[in-house]
Structure 1
């Protein structure tokens, strides 16, 4: 009888051991395996370190400010005028850069080049009453930024896939300027056209750009960003005058503006 009990107990123990072994082999499905395929590929704890390239589109806007005049009154339209007007225009281009992440902090460098559909003519009527004459004319100052580039540092904080940053660095662009004066002089009822006065000051200028932005990792390789920049390329200065004469008039044009843009980056 005792031998039968011992055999029965041994059989039960063997069955329990086999059941435990089978249960261990039947592991529960992981959480990631039941997620939709589009979500399964997203890595937890996104890392921003790496190179990227991309494109952007947006709006450039600001105020054009010109200064036109002469320190010595050498003609009927002497003196200084300051035409100004608001502007806004399309901007679009490409960017490339590299990020380094340590903990929550992300450091990076980015370069970009953009085209602007930007031609702004500032017109200001000008009337001067002299002792024996009346001069009527229009001063036109055309200021155009054909393209804009920047090389900037980026510093910010990342919360997994969300990145907030400040940025600043070198800005450079192709500035094209034109200035002209057209008008008439009336003396004792006789109207005489003024001799046309014109000039230009085209140049590639450098300055600075500062701003801030946000970026979000849509997938492991695609990020979207929204960015604001203020750029300042300084003041263009050039002389204008009648053909064959000393350029007695001087022009100054401020080259500043704001950029709001959105972009996509491919990261690897």
Structure 2
């Protein structure tokens, strides 16, 4: 966890110190319009029921109204979130969110809050029996995004996820309702 926080601080420091300013290149104050489609990659670490890393992709669209940026995005990640639970092994295969976000833009930065729906595909195994199910729930979070170059932006965010309780049938019902937080870093290409 300390290594991830160090990477996050280094990442933000590099973004703040970047000498390339799109406003200087374009010669206008509107160079950071933020309006349009974006696709990106995200990586995170945290605890959603169990702890582990996730890596995935995101897609979204943003609109800028003066200094307010409003957007919608979806993401899907997979990775190694698994651990011991209720005497067996519980693991998350896929994690996804669909969120709305609202932010405040200044210079090349947007500080934002986001909320929406979350889901995971998870499995549970104990004593040779295995079952799989899908949890649904909600997520809320906050972050910062910055322009690095003309079409490339970087972001750092924290999200909290609360998912419904599901029963896994392994000869007897085992109920699990994961929740927790995750720190995520991402790079977006804006069209």
State which structure, 1 or 2, has the greater radius of gyration over its C-alpha atoms: 1
Query: Structure 1: where are the runs of 5+ without partners?
Result: 1-36, 65-86, 123-138, 181-197, 242-248
In the alignment, is residue 206 of structure 1 matched against residue 136 of structure 2?
Answer: yes
Give the match's secondary structure for 1:202.
strand
Shift of 1:240: 4.0
Task: Tell me if structure 2 keeps the 8 A contact 1:47–1:160.
Answer: no
Q: 2:123 aligns with which of 176, 191, 197?
A: 176
- Secondary structure, in 3 states, of the residue corresponding to 2:178? strand
Distance 1:55 1:158 in 2: 22
2:15 is equivalent to residue 52 of structure 1: no
Partner residue, 1:109: 72
Shift of 1:228: 1.0
TM-score, with structure 1 as normaliser: 0.58
Q: Deviations 1:90-134 (Å, cap 9, x if unpaired)?
A: 111111111001111110001111112122123xxxxxxxxxxxx
User: TM-score under structure 2 normalisation?
Assistant: 0.79
Query: Matches of 1:170 and 1:200 in 2, distance apart?
Result: 27
Tell me the secondary structure at the aligned position of residue 186 of structure 2: strand
Show the counterpart of 1:251: 174
Residues 125 and 170, structure 2, Cα contact 8 Å, conserved in 1: no
Q: Distance in 2 between matches of 1:90 and 1:203?
A: 20
Structure 2 matches for 1:28-47, cutoff 5 A?
40-42=24-26, 43-45=28-30, 46-47=32-33
* Cα RMSD (Å): 2.1
CA distance in 1, matches of 2:166, 2:173: 11
Q: How far off its partner does 1:53 sit? A: 0.7
Residues 149-228 of structure 1 correspond to what in structure 2 (within 5 A)? 149-180=96-127, 199-228=129-158
User: Which residue number in structure 1 is paired with residue 87 of structure 2?
Assistant: 140
Contact 1:201 1:236 in 2 (8 A): no
Q: 1:223 to 1:38 in 2, by over 3 A?
A: closer
Residue 266 of structure 1 aligns with which residue?
189
Match of 2:3 in 1: none
Does the 8 Å CA contact 1:177/1:202 hold for their aligned counterparts?
yes
Q: Distance in 2 between matches of 1:250 and 1:204?
A: 15
SS in 2 for 1:48: coil
* Structure showing the higher strand proportion among its residues: 2
Moved over 3 A (4+): 37-40, 198-201, 238-241
What displacement does 1:251 show? Answer: 1.4
